[in-house]
Structure 1
Amino acid sequence: MVFSSLFFLFYFLPATLAIYFISPQKLKNIVLLIVSLFFYAWGEPVYICLILFSALVDYILGRLIEKYRRSQKSKWLLVSSLIVNIAVLAFFKYANFLIENINVIFGIELTYLNLPLPIGISFYTFQTMSYIIDVYRGRVTAQRSFISFAMYVTLFPQLIAGPIVRYELIESQMKERMINFAQFSDGVRFFIKGLGKKVLLANNIGLLWVEVESTALSELTLAMAWLGIIAFSFQIYFDFSGYSDMAIGLGKMFGFEFPRNFHYPYISRSIAEFWRRWHITLGSWFREYVYIPLGGNRKGPIRMYMNLLLVWMLTGFWHGASWNFIIWGLYFGILISLERAFLQKVLNYCHPIFQHFYFAFFILIGWVFFVFEDIKMGWQFLGVMFGIGENGLINPKFFYLLFANAILLFIAFVGSLPRPQFIENIVQRNTFIEAFIYFVILLFSTAYLAGASYNPFLYFRF
């Protein structure tokens, strides 16, 4: 089940809210646990056992780590938890990747497992790992109630694709949370805004990318290739940030305050700034639990660059079990290392327009590595983008696609920027205008979902 579906909007969510608000305070966590398991089971009922297993293991080990915190046992309990979590993630997400590479290297034919990837496994595994590490560090108190801990792990608003909500951020909210009208209204606004991003922008501009991607390489021109990857960059942004906004909005409706996951990343002037604005919770997770423990920048420049490359390789691998994701991660690791070494100092002397151009150029190239799991196809697409071969510059199909999608591209561009302050002031002063805008977004989103067959969710596989 996804948020951008009619069943979720008009059946699951209203029923869940009704049951939740009529339930007494002491039962609210168990209500959320039950509806979250139902939400998860809608797509993959067999993997309920897996997510509950992960929750049970880390619940028990968290209690034991706290009990033996002052002894050597706590370290071994921490290691045991990390091994279990990483092993489960590796088995379901990376086993076939390992088998494929063994077959290629040794010329054998090991059988693939062909197991479906458990939805959201990368997200909830990272959450339980951060919980265990924080218990070991003494930053949080081990949760006493298994019901409450299992609710945290399976909480449906952020289960499928984040944001990655670390336990310490909502520890107090799990015990007691009060919901007022302002918070609930704010949650509704976040949710409708995210729904509009996903349904009206990401889905529609994604059709442009599909059209370009499905074009035979011999018919693809330089201009079409750039137009296509620009369309994909907007699609993945509105797709993922829209889902994150919906998750944050749902969290508010149930009394939780989830962290922000996107902050207008396409206004960045460097690659490092982009990653401070894009998928913020993932970046902070890797910084807190991988980069800093490795030594960060405290052990000299060579060690720092090695740490950066390792973290970014892991970031890429986290996104998918394919070499293109590893290349994508290392690509950003190299760029950020260059910015740390000297490039950022050069950029600081440049005009902001050049800084934005630099960022846009390299981020679009990065999306090519990301979107093409077939590395050969990705390189061929890049070749067309840079005029390698005899594909030509422009053809009639480019003009057709450009003019047919010009308004949508303009709206996507404007939608990726912060709203001007004077518009913000007008909307905030006039609640009727604001309510009307959100009503129209909900109405058009619902109408689209009622008749559309194209409604992918790009981060579902991660």
Structure 2
Amino acid sequence: MVFSSETFLFLFLPAFLAIYYLTPNRWRSVTILLGSYVFYGWWRIDFLALLFATTLWTYVFGLLVARTEGKQSKMLCIAGTVGCLSVLGFFKYFNFVASTVGSVLGQDPAASTLWHVILPIGVSFYVFESISYLVDVYRRESLPARNFADFASFVSLFPHLVAGPILRFRDLRDQFANRTHSLALFSQGMTIFIIGLAKKVLIADTVAPLADTIFSQAAPTLIESWLGAGAYTIQLYFDFSGYSDMAIGLGLMMGFRLMENFNAPYTSKSITEFWRRWHISLSVWLRDYLYIPLGGNRKGVARTYFNLFIVMVLGGLWHGANWTFVIWGTWHGAILAIERYFAWPKKSATVPWSLLLTLLFIVLGWVMFRAPNVGAAMTMYGGMVGLNGLGVTADVAWQLPREGLVVLAIAIGLTALEPRLKKLAEPELVIEGQGTAALRAQWLPAIAMSCLTVLVLMRLADQAFSPFLYFQF
């Protein structure tokens, strides 16, 4: 079940919210837990058992870590963490390791069903959240959960369960005990949810055929390659940030305040800044639970650069068991280290050139991220430097939807103006007695959101099912 499906929008969500608000406060964590398990189990009931087992394992070890001290507490934290990582390692990397070993031995692992392990949706996210819980309890930065229902509800909270943001229990612990519910907060959440749904349905899904068409070409030309890379750059951002917006909006409808996950990343002036704005919850997790434990910048210059590099390589590998993700992480890790060495961007650097250079690095990285294998990525790079010709070929031209090209141009404009648009979207204080101006300030956003909702619903009725890109991670 996905947020942009009719089943979720017209069946699950209304039913869940009705039951949730009719439930007494003391039982709402149980309602969240059961509703989230229905949401997750709708896909596959067997992987719901894996989610429950991982949650129970983490909860028990969290209690043990909290009740012990010193070396014993540390060993229990390590044991609990290893158990969580084992789940992630088996389901996410077994196929990769098996196929690599098979290739070395001259076998064809693709021909054997023994190599194929199905990846449970959301496992990367809830395993990271489980690890952060154990580490925070060990560091005494968080108290353990009051009860199993609260912790299980946190892990399975359906708005963020399958594609983030990656949350920390310590940030939501008090909200499970006491959170605010109001019509204003619910309306704000619904607005954010609709904006996220519009990002996904009206932009990401409309631009997707452009990227899919060009990345499937055997020899894309210069214009085709850059068009495909640009389309995927837009598709991925509006798809993933749209999901995050919907998760934040759904959280507000239930009284939860989830962290922001994107902040106009394509307006960054360096890759360092980009990672402060893109998938913020992952960046924070990697910093707090990998970069700092490795020593951060406290063990000398060389070690700092190494830590930056290895964290990004592992961050790339977290996205998927494929050499393309390893190379993508290596690309970003190398640039981060270089920027730190040269203290880039310099104060004297012109903003337009910094923006364009950073965006170039980002787009080149997304080509490797999107490609099914390294060979396909190199083909795209060859096209981007003109090795396969310059113009759009007749075989490709008829496959490019005009609607997608128009939406791509609009989306590029939206990303460039995003910081200004976010300021305009911030609610203004309406003072009693302002008259017509006050009424206009209240009604114009409502009319705009109503029109946007109608467009989204019309588009949903017209298009086929399209899962979110980050479900595969």
TM bucket, shorter chain? over 0.9
Q: Is residue 139 from structure 1 mapped to residue 141 from structure 2 by the alignment? A: yes
Q: Is residue 180 from structure 1 mapped to residue 182 from structure 2 by the alignment? A: yes
Asked whether the equivalents of residues 272 and 336 of structure 1 are also in contact (C-alpha less than 8 Å), the reply is yes
Q: Which position in structure 2 is the counterpart of 1:391?
A: 389
2:182 and 2:463 map into 1 onto residues whose CA distance is: 35
Look up the equivalent residue of 1:235 and give its one-letter code: Q
* Cα drift, residue 198 of structure 1: 0.5
Alignment of 1:54-453 (within 5 A): 54-68=54-68, 70-108=69-107, 112-217=114-219, 220-342=220-342, 344-345=344-345, 347-388=346-387, 390-395=388-393, 401=400, 405-416=404-415, 417-420=418-421, 423-424=424-425, 430-453=441-464
* Cα drift, residue 394 of structure 1: 4.6
Q: TM-score, normalised by structure 1?
A: 0.95
Superposed structure 1 runs of 4+ greater than 6 Å apart: 397-400, 425-428
Task: Report Cα offsets for 1:184-222 as digits up to 9, x if no partner.
Answer: 1110111001000010010001122122223342xx210
Specify the SS of the correspondent of 2:160: helix
Distance 1:321 1:375, change over 3 A: same
Q: Which runs of 5+ in 2 are unaligned?
A: 430-437
Asked whether the equivalents of residues 203 and 454 of structure 1 are also in contact (C-alpha less than 8 Å), the reply is no
Q: Which runs of 5+ in 1 are unaligned?
A: none
* Cα drift, residue 413 of structure 1: 1.6
Specify the SS of the correspondent of 2:159: helix
Q: TM-score, normalised by structure 2?
A: 0.93
1:163 and 1:4 map into 2 onto residues whose CA distance is: 17
1:410 and 1:246 map into 2 onto residues whose CA distance is: 24
1:403 and 1:46 map into 2 onto residues whose CA distance is: 43
Specify the SS of the correspondent of 2:390: coil
Asked whether the equivalents of residues 188 and 249 of structure 1 are also in contact (C-alpha less than 8 Å), the reply is yes
Look up the equivalent residue of 2:59 and give its one-letter code: Y
Look up the equivalent residue of 2:166 and give its one-letter code: I
Q: Which position in structure 2 is the counterpart of 1:33?
A: 33
* Cα drift, residue 421 of structure 1: 7.8
1:87 and 1:422 map into 2 onto residues whose CA distance is: 44
* Cα drift, residue 442 of structure 1: 1.5
Distance 1:252 1:423, change over 3 A: closer
2:129 and 2:94 map into 1 onto residues whose CA distance is: 22
Q: Which position in structure 1 is the counterpart of 2:434?
A: none
Asked whether the equivalents of residues 66 and 142 of structure 1 are also in contact (C-alpha less than 8 Å), the reply is yes
Task: Name whichever of 72-81 and 232-241 sits farther off.
Answer: 72-81
Asked whether the equivalents of residues 63 and 144 of structure 1 are also in contact (C-alpha less than 8 Å), the reply is no
* Cα drift, residue 297 of structure 1: 0.7
Asked whether the equivalents of residues 191 and 248 of structure 1 are also in contact (C-alpha less than 8 Å), the reply is yes
Look up the equivalent residue of 2:163 and give its one-letter code: A
* Cα drift, residue 391 of structure 1: 2.3
Distance 1:425 1:74, change over 3 A: closer
* Cα drift, residue 177 of structure 1: 1.6
Look up the equivalent residue of 1:150 and give its one-letter code: A
Look up the equivalent residue of 2:406 and give its one-letter code: I
Asked whether the equivalents of residues 223 and 398 of structure 1 are also in contact (C-alpha less than 8 Å), the reply is no
Q: Which position in structure 1 is the counterpart of 2:24?
A: 24
2:139 and 2:162 map into 1 onto residues whose CA distance is: 27
Asked whether the equivalents of residues 323 and 373 of structure 1 are also in contact (C-alpha less than 8 Å), the reply is no
Distance 1:427 1:205, change over 3 A: farther
- Counting aligned pairs with the same residue, the percent is 40
Distance 1:431 1:396, change over 3 A: farther
Asked whether the equivalents of residues 387 and 393 of structure 1 are also in contact (C-alpha less than 8 Å), the reply is no
Q: Report the count of equivalent residues.
A: 457
